Amino acid sequence: MKRKALYSSSRGDRSGRPGPVRLAEVAVAEPELPPAPPSRFSRGIGRVKAFYKRREKWFGLLASAAVAILALVLFQAFVPGARNFTQHDIDLAVRSTLEHIPEPPSKASQAYAVIRPSVVRVSQLEKGKDSDELEVKGVGTGVIIDEKGTILTNLHVVAGADKVGVEYIDGTKSDAEVISVQPENDLAVLKPKILPDDIQPATLKSTAKLRPGDEVIAVGNPFGIGVSVSDGIISGLRRNYQSADGKSNLTNLIQFDAAANPGNSGGPLVTTDGEVVGIVTAILNPTSQRVFIGIGFAVPIENAAAAAGLSPF
């Protein structure tokens, strides 16, 4: 039982001696009586409330339906010339509503929107025979991978160039320096001299969970006509590739069937969420034609990131 605190008071008499100490009264709580058992009526009310609480959602729906039906009946009863709605009328209304709902963009379109700001055009430049002016010898693609503007591309895109140029999504152009190469994976790392105002590096994604059948897009500059996107699936993993001249022998590649052609080299292979899983490096065509027939290869992003000195996974 909780008691009030005890306080003391000392006033003293005129002789200067302290007066008697008096203790405050101790409050004694009266014993509490047990609550009276609920009546039969109270128990019945409680059961009804509990029943309603458990089914509150359904009661609300039934009430809404009843109000709607009542409104329709009153409308048809009191509005002159009101027509009865048939199933055909309802079907027409539903169809009209669905026709005016805009379709969501495709997965490929959404992925392209995410990766596009990170894709650059890479040009291999060389001096002209009759002048010192630089001419475009070849065109490829690259992808920005960090806030410093570091660009990943293929080694064969920049090999032998007198100068390398890059162009960003906003039209900004810059010379770029090759700062690292990884010949065994046909990779080169570029450092541009000028960056755009809004640098947007790509997000890199591990290939550990990549499976044949997964949807991907390839983004690049096929034949130099401009940044293009194609979609397809992962066709296989851990593939090997040897170029027709025998100079390039690549291993552990991602095989895909999204269209890729000369100019796509160095571009990103991207998942449907816009994350880069590989760098497009080669196409397989047993004929003499350098065009896509359904088999493309990409270097896994783990290898590409290692070429740039990154270890994101």
Q: Does residue 190 fall inside a structural domain?
A: yes
- Catalytic-residue membership of 88: no
Evaluate whether residue 189 is within a structural domain: yes
Domain-embedded: residue 223: yes
Question: 90-99, 184-193, 209-218, 293-302 — which is least confidently predicted?
Answer: 90-99
> Do residues 82 and 76 make contact, with C-beta atoms less than 8 angstroms apart?
yes
Domain membership of residue 54 (yes or no) is: no
| Bigger pLDDT: 56 vs 226 | 226
Total domains present in the chain? 1
Coil/strand/helix, residue 220: strand
The answer to whether residue 77 sits within a structural domain is: no
For residue 297, give its domain range.
111-307
Q: Does 11 score more than 50 pLDDT?
A: no
**Region 277-289: what's the mean pLDDT?**
90
CA distances from 15 to 10, 12, 20, 21, 56 (A): 14, 8, 13, 16, 80
Better-scored residue on pLDDT, 132 or 267: 267
The answer on pLDDT for 288 being more than 70 is yes
- Supply the pLDDT for residue 14: 43
CATH number of the domain residue 187 falls in: 2.40.10.120
Residue 86 domain flag: no
Q: How confident is the model at residue 7 (pLDDT cuts 50, 70, 90)?
A: very low
Confidence of residue 65 (pLDDT cuts 50, 70, 90): low
Residue 175: per-residue pLDDT: 95
Give the position of tokens 């064969």. 156
- Verify whether residue 89 is a known catalytic residue: no
Q: Is the pLDDT at 268 greater than 60, yes or no?
A: yes
Is residue 29's pLDDT more than 70?
no
Q: Is residue 135 part of a domain?
A: yes
pLDDT tens figures, 149-200? 999 999 999 998 999 999 999 999 999 999 999 999 999 999 999 999 899 9
Of 123, 156, 235, 257, catalytic? 156
Catalytic option among 118, 230, 235, 265: 265
Q: Which residue has the higher pLDDT, 220 or 129?
A: 220
d(CA 306, CA 279): 13
Output the pTM of the full model: 0.67
The catalytically annotated residue of 186, 230, 231, 257 is 186
Residue 64 lies in a domain: no
Q: What's at 256, amino acid-wise?
A: F
Q: Respond yes or no: is residue 214 known to be catalytic.
A: no
Relative orientation angle of helices 56-78 and 40-54, to the nearest 10 degrees? 70
The mean pLDDT value for 75-91 works out to 65
Res 13 pLDDT > 60: no
- The torsion angle over the Cα atoms of residues 230, 233, 237 and 241, rounded to 10 degrees, is -40
